[in-house]
Every structure is written in structure tokens, then in C-alpha cells.
Amino acid sequence: MKRINKLFGCIFFYCVFILTSFTVIAQNKADFETMDIDKPVKDFPVKYSSKTPLEAYIAINYIGANGKQSMWRPFSTYRFHHSFANENTKDKTIPEKNRNEILNREIKECIIYKDSVAAVITTSDKDSLYLIRYLSKENGQWLNAGEGIEEGLAKAKASIIDYLPQLASFIPKIEIVKQTPTDTINFVNYLKTHGRSPHRYIIEKLTNHKIVIYGERHRRKASWELLNKVIQEPDFVKTTGVVFFELPSYKQNDLDRFYAQEILDTDILLDIFGCEQMNGWHDKDEFDFMIALWKLNKKLPEDLKIKVILTDYQTPWHLMRTDDDLRNFPRKDRNTNMADVIEHFMKTTIDKRNALFIVGFMHAYKSPSVPGMFSTPKGQESAHTVGAQLVERFSKKDVFSIFSHCLSESNRGEVAGKLRNGLFDYVFDVNSNIPIAFDLMDSPFGREPFDAGLEVKFNPKIGSYQENYDGYIFFQKLEEEEKGTPLYELFTDQYVTEVKRRAFISGMKENQIWYGVPIKDLNKKTIISSMKKDSEGKMWNFTK
């Protein structure tokens, strides 16, 4: 999945979970209990209790008003307690204005669903807006489970009635995710008997399947090093006729021109990377891989050249001159666009070789039970992932999807620890952390609940690893993995002027932070300096 740049600015972490797509469940009014409160927070004594929904709500407000940073984690659901500071964190001083705003909130109602989840509605400092605090009951304790905001009390109640059954469905999954097998012998033995060299594994799958989806974690040097090794294998060109990329499909003619040039012209490729997302795509290792494909093609006869196809749906910024242009431009679901491009090519090409599709791993899962995310235009219903759509359009055998080992993360980069509570990493460590690839079906790894994508980790419909992917690749010990290289060459003075233009017609303000600095201060030097700082250290964040 294209990872939203962390430098874009903050979006409430909770909202991701509240807005995660689920089928709306028919409501039974008898399952809901409503308590009228009509008292401000300050009328309740300072008490840090989680025995009842109301007590937990009061405690959460006093935690916020009194700057008790160490208490957020123990008072929050297991789903996102990792996003809060650890329990040794010092208190922080809260400005009096902010403190009073919290304490003066009037609690209107507390709505409880089946004694398992609840929501408390309060007034805000804006007359028409109502704040919602969700709570879930886990191991007998009522815990912070996110927040929302609605215009009008009636809308707040309707939103709560719709969402609480969905929130309740998380609770059994939380217990499943918490459980970790203690018998690791089967995992270790499976690697020893079924493990393959990763680059040979990919070639093997390209030999036997029409479309191999390589689900990557973006901007990862080790991943592109592996793919470079794959394309250097002599039998790669015998098995593979096309490589699909998650880059803007409307730039295909420019890419064709790039690969047709007898002399390498990286400016064409830089322009394409600059058109992926509003602020460009900064992965130099991917950039270099596409150049490696250009060099490979120059050595090949015409009938063996590799076709390179762009699949992603992105805003054509060259057509966006005003905010009205941007607002009124017709948009398409990215997963569907990728599936459409791939289906059209594969069903019209005369080349009988198979395809490699490199895409973010959260586009690559094959389960049809959970729609894709971060891909659907506002107002449209979320489509299935491109992985699930390709299975529908071809077949399960035709489409082989590979997951690459990483941390449990969200699309914005929040980290919730190692997969399966460290089980997988322990097994790889016992196996001397050698690079390895293996099939997931009917394996101990495959039967484990899928927990890599935070947005779906606690969705009861997401299923196991083998229900979402067919293969698994481990590169190296995560603690030792180096960061990828930023594409500094993208940031010419002309390009910086262009991205500032995009920001302003998108409604961003001069003081909003972008690329780590206020937009008004953006220039080639400040962007590159910020990106260099961000590229320091190791790949993975283990601070949580």
C-alpha cells in the first residue's frame, strides 16, 4: 500500500479504526442501554477507575486534563495501546485553557451495548458539534477505544448505534491475537523442510502462475535487492513477460518512451515518480530497479524484452489548475484501476509468459471478506483489494500472492510490535536468520491469524495468513535491516515549486508541516535536509 508520508501532518490514530469498513449489522434496540447524565466532567471527583463505562470515561478525561501520560496505555484498548507512551513517562503540563475545555464538557448520555462496548456523548467547545468517546470492556476493564465527532446530537446517537456492534466484534479477535503458540518445533521444522532461497522461490512461482503478486513493504532496500537478484536469473526472462508497478497508469506513454530510448534518460522516470501521490514517490531503490530493467531489456532480443506497465490510479496534477478542478475531477478506486490495467494487458497480450506485480502488501491480500482501504474516493464504496479482484477475474491458481516479513504496522507507520507477538521472528532466529521463502497453505505460519496490517488486524473477518497470501519471504533480522535510499534527485527547484502549488490548491496552509518543515519554508535544501535526517538509522522502529 502506498504509505502516506509521515511528514504530511497528523491524523487522529483512532479514526482509522472507527472508520474501518464493515458490513452494517441490523440493530436490536433491546441490546442498547442509555443513561442520561447531563453533568459536566468537573462535577465528578478525580478518580482513575475502569470498573464502569462512566467511571472509565471520567478517568480518561482526568488523564487528559492532568497530563497523566503514563496512564493512557493502561486505560486504552489493546488494539492501539502501543500508540501511547510507556508507563514510565512523566506527566506533562496542560495549558489552563485546554484543561478547562476538557473539564467543562457536559456529559449528555452514555450508551452501552450488550455490556461489552459503550459510547459517551459530550458537548464540545463548538455549539453544534458533539464529541464521542468509545469504550470497550476487555478482561473486565472498560477502556478507551477511540473517539469521534458528529454535528448534532441525533447524528451522534445514530453513529453510535451503527458502530457499537462493530466495535464489539473486535473484542473476541483481541483475545485471539493475544494468544501465541508456545510449541515452536513445528514452525522450525517447517522451515527446514519447506524453506527455499527467496530469489529461486519467486522464479519458481513465476514459472507456475500467471500472475505473481509481490506484496512489499514500501521503501525497503532489502526487498529491491532481492528483486534485482530475481531479474538477473537467466530463467527470469523465460518465465516473465511483464512487470507491473504501483505507479500512475496515466503516465504509461511516458514510461514506454523511457524504455524505448537507446540512451538512458532518467528525467522521464523522475517525472513519473514525481506524479505518484501529491508529494511524489521518493524510493530510489525502486527507481534504480526500473533502470535495471531498462538495462536488462537492452541486452535482450525483441521477443524476450520485458514489458513494464504502470497500474496505479493517481490524480493527474498537470490538469489541476484550481481547487475546483481538484474537487470536481472524477476519481476511481485504486485497487480497481490496478486490477483493470492488469486484466486488460494479460487478456490481450500475445506473450505467453507470466507476470510479476510489485505492490504494497495491503493491496495484495486475497481475502474477499475485508475491502481494500486508502484507495477509495470519498463517497464511493470500498472495492476489494487488487489481490482479491485478480482472483475473481482469473483464478486462485493463476494468482499467487507473496507477503514479505515486516512489523505489525499501520499505513501511516504506527508500529505495534513484531508479528504474532514475536513468534515468527523467534523462529527465524532459531533458523539463524537466513533469508528464506515458503508456502503458507497448511503450514503452521499460514494458520496463524493475520496481524501485519493494523487497520485489519482486529477485524474478525480478515482470517489467517494463508487466507490472505500464498507465500512468505523473510529477508534478514529486522533489527539489522538498513533503511532505503531517498530519491533526492527528484527535488529540483522546479519540482519544489510544483509540489507547493499542489499543496495550496489542495487546501493546505502555509504553516502546515510537509516534508518535515512548514510549507512556506519549503525549498530544495530544506526538503533534502529533512529527508536525510529521516533516513538515518535502521529500517525498523522498535521504540514502542
CA–CA gap between residue 67 and residue 92 (Å, rounded): 5
The rounded mean pLDDT for the chain is 92
Tell me the per-residue pLDDT of 461-503, one tens digit each, with 9 for 90 and over.
999 999 999 999 999 999 999 999 999 999 999 999 999 999 9
Domain ranges of the chain: 6-178, 185-480, 491-534
Cβ-contact 160, 121 below 8 angstroms: yes
CA–CA gap between residue 317 and residue 429 (Å, rounded): 46
CA–CA gap between residue 238 and residue 305 (Å, rounded): 10
CA–CA gap between residue 136 and residue 117 (Å, rounded): 4
Cβ-contact 32, 165 below 8 angstroms: no
Strand intervals (E) in 114-272: 117-123, 129-138, 141-151, 211-216, 240-248
DSSP string for residues in 88-145: TPPP-PPPHHHHHHHHTPEEEEEEEETTTEEEEEEE-SSTTEEEEEEEEEETTEEEEE
Q: Torsions phi, psi of 107, nearest 5?
A: -80, 115
- CATH of segment(s) 185-480: 3.40.50.11550
| Averaged pLDDT in 10-residue chunks for the chain of 544 residues | 40 38 53 94 95 97 95 94 86 94 95 97 86 96 96 94 96 94 96 98 98 96 98 97 98 98 97 96 97 98 97 96 94 97 98 98 95 90 96 97 96 89 98 98 98 94 97 97 94 95 92 88 93 89 61
CA–CA gap between residue 173 and residue 370 (Å, rounded): 15
Query: What global pTM score does this model have?
Result: 0.91
Tell me the per-residue pLDDT of 70-107, one tens digit each, with 9 for 90 and over.
999 999 999 988 888 888 899 999 999 999 999 999 99
